[in-house]
Chains A and B, each alone.
Chain A
């Protein structure tokens, strides 16, 4: 059985999750004895960017171009992906569980009459069946979901599947774009240009009520900057207080993040906050209360006043990275 990896671009550039999805497709296809096709959806001129997906693990890169595909086009993307998915003997369609992918995956599944698993953190193949493992109950349990269907759609949690390199190029060909425009993305209002999103960053530095006021988030921003490219996150307490935008909220009613490193500063570690970050690879906590629940999930903790610790940490991280 073959695997179709549906990739995602923003402003013509493939997103990091696309590489994760293509390599996950590679590993799964190898287990199933099949091949990997990567689908690129975008405005005309995507071939060059698409060609890189061969190296990233695809045997064939299929490019569907249309002027209306410059931004996310829910109906057109879904119709095109479903049309392609019906052709190539695919047993699995993989998508990244980004904001776009979460919208797209169920649409493709419905069009293919295929069962769906979203936000998978693992995919396996045994005894002729595909199984996805995925966190449920806000991360408090792990579900194994097995498919009994000829084709299944699975979305993969960002930052969880490593990208890889095939050491070869794939072929690139065009496929027909199916357009439909019943829902149109008229505009994308960008947050601050160049600002990294918590859901995608490999380092996230988050602040909570321990910061005492919005003005002190400069401490968090400086620490994030010291790491190079880190995103700033926040607990719900500070988002509800209006100190930080909702886009930065990590947790059950905010974003789910799986960075390489998560630094929680002045955050107590309520269960709803943990729901959003417990799959981070390494967790660091800074809190003045040695009994704060965050220390139960933290790999490394420092007990003490964040106003003393964070400036020192910012300095030391900057020095370590420079040296």
Chain B
């Protein structure tokens, strides 16, 4: 089974955000970068599917700056076979521009499955996966938390408000991974050593013009300083009074 996994390098989710001098991006000094947490589920799924099929290839693709090689390497250490870095000075905020560049790389790859995370923890688009699917005219199921594949067909489950959708599709397909799909493995020492010898192909990303432009990035307004209404159950009547008369939510 030939599987592609698209991964993004994102700031660690615990990072304190500081706005850079341009007022439209974050200051990256001292920021630790990690693989997007949802992409780990996609990687794990790819590895399990390849191994279950008794062979094939897992190709990791990342679009972004040189440092993305590190992230690719960490996935090779988990067990992926080779990597592709589509080099771009920065990752555009235009999800469609990213999707087009990834689609161009994936197009003639002959993949049975193309896996994504459901969203990137930094830009929150939930967009690149289904966009790639549309561009390549492939079936797509997003935010899946369960997957069964049999022959050329698949059934996936995705959580919706108040329930779970059971979705059928045929391969080749694009899927985006939600938490709960599996439990990602940690790379073993052996994997880390082996990863050093695995190939990473580097080529320029075919990025068109970005048509969604970040004009400003700011810290969220601080919530108005709240107050401790009191201690213990005796504070309850006052809380209820405030909810009713001041907050007006009752």
Contact = CB atoms under 8 A, between A and B. Distances in A.
Interface string B225-241: 01111111101110110
B169 A110 contact: no
B211 interface: yes
Given A187-B166, A284-B239, A295-B226, A116 B249 contact: no
A244 B154 CA distance: 28
A20 interface: no
B178 to A, nearest CB: 9
Contacts of A246: 145, 159, 179-180
A307 B19 CA distance: 42
A190 interface: yes
A320 B237 CA distance: 10
B195 interface: no
Contact of A118 (B126, B179, B247): B126
Contacts of B229: 300-302
Interface string A181-208: 0111111111100011101100100000
A269 to B, nearest CB: 12
A117 B211 CA distance: 11
Interface residues of B, number: 81
Given A106-B129, A136-B217, A147-B212, 17 more contacts: A106-B126, A110-B131, A116-B131, A119-B126, A137-B121, A146-B212, A149-B211, A186-B166, A191-B164, A247-B159, A252-B13, A253-B37, A261-B243, A301-B226, A302-B229, A304-B232, A316-B240
Given A146-B215, A278-B223, A303 B228 contact: yes
23 contacts: A105-B127, A106-B134, A107-B140, A110-B99, A116-B125, A116-B131, A137-B17, A145-B215, A146-B213, A147-B211, A152-B212, A183-B139, A185-B165, A199-B161, A282-B249, A283-B226, A284-B239, A299-B226, A300-B227, A302-B230, A302-B239, A303-B228, A312-B236
B120 to A, nearest CB: 9
A113 to B, nearest CB: 7
A116 B232 contact: no
B226 to A, nearest CB: 4
B250 A321 contact: yes
Interface in A8-48: none
B101 to A, nearest CB: 13
A188 B160 contact: yes
Contact of A200 (B11, B93, B161, B227): B161
B142 A103 contact: yes
Nearest to A247: B159
A143 B93 CA distance: 10
Contacts of B105: none
Contact of A190 (B121, B158, B162, B168): B162
B212 A117 contact: yes
A299 B223 CA distance: 8
Nearest to B212: A115
Given A297-B226, A300-B239, A102 B163 contact: no
B216 interface: yes
A110 B135 contact: yes
Given A107-B134, A131-B215, A261-B249, A102 B126 contact: yes
Nearest to A319: B240
A143 B143 contact: no
A313 B130 contact: no
Contacts of A203: 249
A199 B161 CA distance: 7
Given A141-B17, A308-B232, A252 B212 contact: no
Contacts of A196: 162
Interface in A86-115: 98-100, 102-103, 105-107, 109-111, 113-115
